[in-house]
């Protein structure tokens, strides 16, 4: 059964994150269909995104996107579109004060 949903929406912190923004639930496959950042700050901010295997971490080997978001603007993170997460996979994100919204679908095989 496919469920369309917002996989994540939140304000990002600075540095390499230790806590995932999204974890694909057990027996659930996720697909990212859209990802957008909004930077309300006074300066450009770099947003980094990592997708790691279950039990993994945000490292150079799991980074999938990096993008500079100009101050006062929103921008799509097109590198994330069509990324797939298998059960237990983790999505991490960082970007000082930037709001990240990720929409997609979760599929629970029957």
pLDDT tens profile 45-104: 999 999 999 999 999 999 999 999 999 999 999 999 999 999 999 999 999 999 999 999
pTM for the model: 0.95
How do the domains of the chain map onto residue ranges? 2-107
What is residue 22's predicted lDDT score, i.e. its pLDDT? 98
Of the pLDDT bands very low, low, confident and very high (cuts 50, 70, 90), residue 110 is confident
Q: Which CATH number fits domain 2-107: 2.40.50, 2.60.120, 1.10.150, 3.20.20?
A: 2.60.120
Task: Pick the closest to residue 31 from 100, 91, 99, 76 (CA basis).
Answer: 91
């Amino acid at each position: 059964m496919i469920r369309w949903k917002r996989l994540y929406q939140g304000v990002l912190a600075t540095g390499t994150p230790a806590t995932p923004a999204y974890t694909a639930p057990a027996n659930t496959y996720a697909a990212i269909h859209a990802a957008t950042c909004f930077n309300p700050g006074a300066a450009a901010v770099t947003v980094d995104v990592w997708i790691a295997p279950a039990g993994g971490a945000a490292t150079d080997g799991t980074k999938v996107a990096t993008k500079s978001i100009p101050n006062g603007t929103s921008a799509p993170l097109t590198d994330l579109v069509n990324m797939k997460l298998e059960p237990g996979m983790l999505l991490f994100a960082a970007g000082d004060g930037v709001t990240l919204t990720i929409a997609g679908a979760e599929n629970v095989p029957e």
